[in-house]
Structure formats: structure tokens, C-alpha cells
Amino acid sequence: MKKTHRKIIWLGTKEVLLTMFDLSLPFFYAEKSYRRRVLNYQRWRESDKIKTKRSIKYLIQKGYIDSFVENKQVYIELTPKGVMYLSNQSLKDLTIAKQSLWDGKWRLVVFDIPEKLRFERNVLRRKLYDFGFYKIQKSVYVFPYNCTKEIKYICERLNIHEYVLVAISELIQNEEGIIAHFIENKIIPISGLKK
């Protein structure tokens, strides 16, 4: 793998900044009011090193990062599994705003994601359930509100956009049961239905 293609984080950067701060500490020792803060900082700095080492070891064991030495410097690089984990974490807080009035249109998400991308497919499926989508068929899900932007974001993060289709429909066969599902799960408020 070429160096320009690696996602590298240099461990020394944080250490350099913290060392610079350490060097400035003697200027604060003269004042008694700063001594307590300095001692607290030094304790935190020691515990921070331990936590950082523990975190790095854990991430290597999970397969999210690899460490290597190059030119006498220690580097950490994200593995493909780590990139996928970060993508998944970035999706956790993603939500779809629910409107007070439903426009009567259905948003369908249809996908045919190959088996080699099973992890990505499962992340998408899990996120659709988190949003409140209703499963019509194996890879066909429906939602009453606009979700194109959110689905596009997920597909870009997971690199599966070529396998996912979003469509808008005004009619779905047997939609009464689907409407009842969304009302029951408080996704469509009863007051939000058109008369």
C-alpha cells in the first residue's frame, strides 16, 4: 500500500504539544495558586498516557488499527475494518425529521447488495429499522417522510450507492396495514393524516 494512500496518524504530535506545555510549567510554579492546578495536570498527564496505551492495544486487538515503525517513528493506520467501524459510528446519531403532516407519499428504499458487502448491507438494514422503516419484502422498505438525503449519506459512507434505489410512490397495495403500523409506532401522528 502506498504511503499516500494510508490513513496515518502520527503518535508523536500529541506528545510534542504536551511536552511544550510541560516545559512552560515552571513559569507557573512561582504562584501558589497554580501549584494545585499543575499537580492535577501532571497526574492527569500520567493517567492519560496509560489510557492512550490501553486504548491503542484494544483497537489493535479488535483489528481497527495497525501500528508500524518507519524511519524510527511509530505510526498507526486504520484498517479497512476500522474505517467501516468509524463509518458505522458516524451513522449512530443520524435521524430523519418527522413532519407533523404526512404528504400521502411513500418513500421506498430498495436494495440488492452483494454478499461480499454483507456487513454494509446489515448496517443499512439496521439503520432503516432504527429510523422506523417498515419492511415490505426482503430488501424493500417503506417510510412516510422524505429520507432521500439521509439514505444518500448512508450509502456514500458505506460505499453502496450503486446497489440502493430510493423511490417515491403515491400508492402501495394494502397500504392501510402500513399506515396502521406507522400510527401504532407513533411515526405518523393521527392528526397528521390528510382528511
Give the number of other CB atoms < 10 A from CB of residue 54: 10
Feature table: binding site for Mg(2+):
112
Region class of 93: left (phi > 0), else alpha (psi between -120 and 50), else beta: alpha
Is 9 in contact with 83 (CB distance < 8 Å)? no
Contacts 24+ apart (CB under 8 A), 185-190: 185/132, 187/98, 187/132, 187/143, 187/144, 187/145, 188/102, 188/144, 189/100
Feature table: binding site:
112
Minimal CA–CA distance to 108: which of 171, 153, 166? 166
